[in-house]
Amino acid sequence: MEKIPEFECHEVETVDALVEQLHQSPLRASLNRMLEEGEPPTVASVNRLILRPAAAQLTRQRSDLQTSLDDALEEQTREKRSFYTKLLSVVDGMDRVLQQADPENDLAGNLESLRTKFLQVLEDEDVLPIELAVGQPFDAATCEVSQRRTRDDLPPDTIISIDRKGYTCKSKLLRRARVVISVTP
C-alpha cells in the first residue's frame, strides 16, 4: 500500500509574499491587531500566525485522509475475500458434479476444462489451494472437522478424507479445508 507523502512546510521569505493571501484569510484580524498594537509584522510572526497553524491543519488532514484510505483498502480486501469465497462454492459444485459424472462423457470433460480455467483465474488472483493429503495429521489452523471415524489402524487426528478443499488468499487463510479425521476406539 502506497502511503501519502509527508507534508513539508517551507517558511516564507518575505512578509510581502503573504500579504495577498492574508486579505482573504481569517487570520487577517490577528495581523491587523498586531499592526494596531504597534508590532510590525515580521517573517517569524507571519509564520507563527499562518504557516504553523496551516501546517498543523494539513498534517491533521493528511492523517485523516490516510485513515480513510486505509479503511477503504481494508473494506475492498474484505469484499474481495467474500467474493472469492462465493466463487469457491461454485468450484465445490463443479467438484460434486464431476465426482458423480462418467469420466468418458464429453460434458464431464467440458466441465473439468471449465473448472481448470476457473481455478486458473483464482490462482491469478493469488487464491491458492491448501496442500493437504490423506494420512496427514489434522491441523486446526487450516482444517475443520466434518466427521470423526473410529479407526484403530491410524493414529488419532489423522486425515481420512477431504470433503472440501481449503484455500488461501495472498498467503492468508481464506477458507479452511473440511476433513474427516480418525479417532481411537
User: Residue 66 and residue 70: Cα distance in Å, rounded?
Assistant: 6
Q: What is the pLDDT of residues 145-169, one digit of tens each?
A: 999 999 999 999 999 999 999 999 9
Last residue of one domain, picked from the residues 31, 56, 74: 74
Give me the number of domains the chain comprises: 2
Last residue of one domain, picked from the residues 74, 93, 115: 74
Q: Tell whether 132 is covered by a domain.
A: yes
**Range picked from 32-36, 86-90, 99-103 for highest mean pLDDT:** 86-90
The pLDDT of residue 61: 87
Q: Tell whether 1 is covered by a domain.
A: no
Quick one: cell of 53?
A: 497553524
Q: Tell whether 64 is covered by a domain.
A: yes
**Residue 52 structural domain:** 17-74
Q: What is the pLDDT of residues 44-77, one digit of tens each?
A: 776 666 677 777 788 888 898 899 999 999 999 9
The answer to whether residue 181 scores a pLDDT higher than 50 is yes
Give, in degrees to the nearest 5, the angle at Cα 93 between 91 and 97.
115
* Whole-prediction pTM: 0.67
The answer to whether residue 16 scores a pLDDT higher than 70 is no
Q: Tell whether 112 is covered by a domain.
A: no
The answer to whether residue 98 scores a pLDDT higher than 50 is yes
- Three-state SS for 61-95 is HHHHHHHHHHHHHHHHHHHHHHHHHHHHHHHHHHH
The pLDDT of residue 36: 76
Q: Tell whether 90 is covered by a domain.
A: no
Q: What is the pLDDT of residues 18-45, one digit of tens each?
A: 555 555 565 666 667 777 777 776 777 7
SS3 158: strand
The CATH number of residue 184's host domain is 2.30.22.10
Q: Tell whether 9 is covered by a domain.
A: no
Q: What is the pLDDT of residues 113-145, one digit of tens each?
A: 999 999 999 999 999 999 999 999 999 999 999
Q: Tell whether 86 is covered by a domain.
A: no
Q: What is the pLDDT of residues 3-12, one digit of tens each?
A: 433 433 445 5
Q: Tell whether 85 is covered by a domain.
A: no
The pLDDT of residue 4: 38
SS3 57: helix
The pLDDT of residue 30: 67
